[in-house]
Amino acid sequence: MPITSQTASTTQNPLMQAPNKADCHCHTVFSDGTLTPVALLTLAKEKQLTGLSITDHDTVDAYPIAIPYAAELGITLVPGIEISAHYQNTSIHVLGYAFDLQDAGLRRLCERLQTDRESRNEKILLKLARLNLPISMSEIKTAFPTGTIGRPHIAKLMVEKGYVKTMQKAFQRYLGEKQRCYVGGMTITVEQAITTIQNAGGFAVLAHPHSLPNKILSALTQMPFDGVEVYYGPLSAKQESPILSLALRKNWMITGGSDFHGGQKSYASLGASFTPSETFDQFVARTKSHFPALACL
Ligand code: AMP
Ligand code: ZN
Ligand code: FE
Ligand code: FE
């Protein structure tokens, strides 16, 4: 029987329940993480996580590989995604959980996001070329053959080509919002992201809102989210507390995760933050309603 958040217990002392440890925010090579789904799940097992949701940017392509392997390892895996949306001109990430992975509307949204990204990436490369920092699309495709391509991939090649010392510098000098080579160009609104996730039978969650300007955060609180990511990466309880208050005030589901990206230093390690059992159990139940016999539940 697979270990789930409900059944996990220590063999030495049956009275001592092992805590539910479900990290609901992490990335693989299908977006800008450095680990394959198999390597990520192997690490999750080493870290004794009981639950996981892989939330690649704008794709669910990790799941066909991840589902059977999670089942083999006894890790409860629920569908997840991190959608690149915008509110006015600010980039907002919307997490989706426990949706139907086959949903046609969600699939169409992912395709549109990939198309947006292709034209945006070309515009970014054009801006870089004008600054005498050339990178070709074929170099990117060779270096990153799978999944969603975005600014982190471009930043990584800028480091490899000696244009900047670190990825962080690539963002600070060129790729970050308001920098010289920044291009917006993602066409999905927050409302569209929420509706698409909910129509696919899932829960829409506002990702890492801790650093959003107050004005934007208060506008987002008027939107029909199901939950908010309270526990995030390496943040302290003090940093998380305003968002916890918001979740309680709105009666939103409380989620948490590391935003682990593999070997990239600027992110927390896998298992740095967890989703409370109360929420994770709802994710499992909702996923079962779409896929009653899913092997990884
Ligand atoms: P994109 O999806 O192409 O807009 O790229 C956004 C991703 O880039 C985020 O999800 C982060 O993983 C990463 N990112 C954003 N800002 C920075 C930064 N200042 N330093 C390093 N990575 C960043
Ligand atoms: Zn990312
Ligand atoms: Fe994000
Ligand atoms: Fe993320």
Average pLDDT over residues 135-144: 95
Is residue 32 predicted with pLDDT exceeding 70?
yes
CA neighbor of 94 nearest in space, from 252, 220, 248, 246:
220
**Which carries the bigger pLDDT value, residue 31 or residue 19?**
31
Distance from Cα 95 to the centre of ligand 3, integer Å? 8
CA neighbor of 297 nearest in space, from 31, 46, 24, 51:
51
Check if the beta carbon of residue 93 is closer than 8 Å to that of residue 61: no
pLDDT band at 17 (very low <50, low <70, confident <90, very high): low
Ligand nearest to the CA of 91: 1
Distance from Cα 37 to the centre of ligand 4, integer Å? 15
Determine the pLDDT at residue 16.
Answer: 56
Among 3-7, 52-56, 292-296, the range with the most confident prediction by mean pLDDT is: 52-56
- What average pLDDT is seen over the chain? 93
Distance from Cα 233 to the centre of ligand 2, integer Å? 12
CATH of 20-103+190-245+253-290, one of 3.40.50.300, 3.20.20.80, 3.20.20.140, 3.40.718.10: 3.20.20.140
> Given the CA of residue 91, which atom of ligand 1 is nearest to it?
4
Check if the beta carbon of residue 31 is closer than 8 Å to that of residue 54: no
pLDDT band at 11 (very low <50, low <70, confident <90, very high): very low
Pocket test residue of 27, 32, 94 for ligand 1, highest count of atoms within 8 A of CB: 32
pLDDT band at 60 (very low <50, low <70, confident <90, very high): very high
Pocket of ligand 1 (CB under 6 A): 32, 57, 84, 150-152, 167-168, 171, 176, 266
- Is the pTM higher than 0.85? The answer reads yes
Distance from Cα 195 to the centre of ligand 1, integer Å? 24
Q: Please state, in angstroms and rounded to a whole number, the distance separating the CA atoms of residues 58 and 85.
A: 10
Domain 110-175 has CATH 1.10.10: no
Residue 263 corresponds to which tokens in the numbers above? 């070997």
Check if the beta carbon of residue 277 is closer than 8 Å to that of residue 179: no
Q: Please state, in angstroms and rounded to a whole number, the distance separating the CA atoms of residues 272 and 280.
A: 16
Residues forming beta bridges with residue 94, ordered by sequence position = 83, 206
Angle CA 144–148–151, to nearest 5? 80
Residue 279 corresponds to which tokens in the numbers above? 């929420």
> Given the CA of residue 172, which atom of ligand 1 is nearest to it?
19
Secondary structure of the chain in HEC code, one letter for each residue? CCCCCCCCCCCCCCCCCCCCCEECCECCCCCCCCCCHHHHHHHHHHCCCCEECCCCECCCCCHHHHHHHHHHHCCEECCEEEEEEEECCEEEEEEEECCCCCCHHHHHHHHHHHHHHHHHHHHHHHHHHHCCCCCCHHHHHHHCCCCCCCHHHHHHHHHHCCCCCCHHHHHHHHHCCCCCCCCCCCCCEHHHHHHHHHHCCCEEEECCHHHCCHHHHHHHCCCCCCEEEEEECCCCHHHHHHHHHHHHHHCCEEEEECCECCCCCCCCCCCCCCCCHHHHHHHHHHHHHHCCCCCCC
Determine the pLDDT at residue 264.
Answer: 76
> Given the CA of residue 57, which atom of ligand 1 is nearest to it?
2
Is residue 2 predicted with pLDDT exceeding 60?
no
pLDDT band at 195 (very low <50, low <70, confident <90, very high): very high
**Which carries the bigger pLDDT value, residue 11 or residue 30?**
30
Residue 274 corresponds to which tokens in the numbers above? 């967890």
How many Cα atoms are found within 13 Å in the side-chain-facing hemisphere of 290? 21
Extents of the domains making up the chain: 20-103+190-245+253-290, 110-175
pLDDT band at 5 (very low <50, low <70, confident <90, very high): very low
Determine the pLDDT at residue 265.
Answer: 74
Determine the pLDDT at residue 63.
Answer: 98
Q: Please state, in angstroms and rounded to a whole number, the distance separating the CA atoms of residues 14 and 4.
A: 15
> Given the CA of residue 32, which atom of ligand 1 is nearest to it?
12
The region of weakest confidence among 90-104, 202-216, 256-270 is 256-270
Is residue 179 predicted with pLDDT exceeding 50?
yes
The residue type of 43 is: L
Distance from Cα 113 to the centre of ligand 3, integer Å? 15
Determine the pLDDT at residue 89.
Answer: 86
Distance from Cα 25 to the centre of ligand 2, integer Å? 10
Residue 248 corresponds to which tokens in the numbers above? 């309680």
Is residue 1 predicted with pLDDT exceeding 50?
no
The structure tokens 């947006």 sit at: 116
For a pLDDT cut of 90, what percent of the chain falls above it?
88
Is residue 7 predicted with pLDDT exceeding 50?
no
The residue type of 238 is: K
Is residue 13 predicted with pLDDT exceeding 90?
no
For ligand 1, atom 8, the nearest C-alpha belongs to: 152
What would the pLDDT profile of 210-231 be if each residue is shown by its tens digit?
Answer: 989 999 999 999 999 999 999 9
Determine the pLDDT at residue 263.
Answer: 83
Distance from Cα 221 to the centre of ligand 1, integer Å? 23
> Given the CA of residue 31, which atom of ligand 1 is nearest to it?
2
Pocket test residue of 89, 117, 151 for ligand 1, highest count of atoms within 8 A of CB: 151
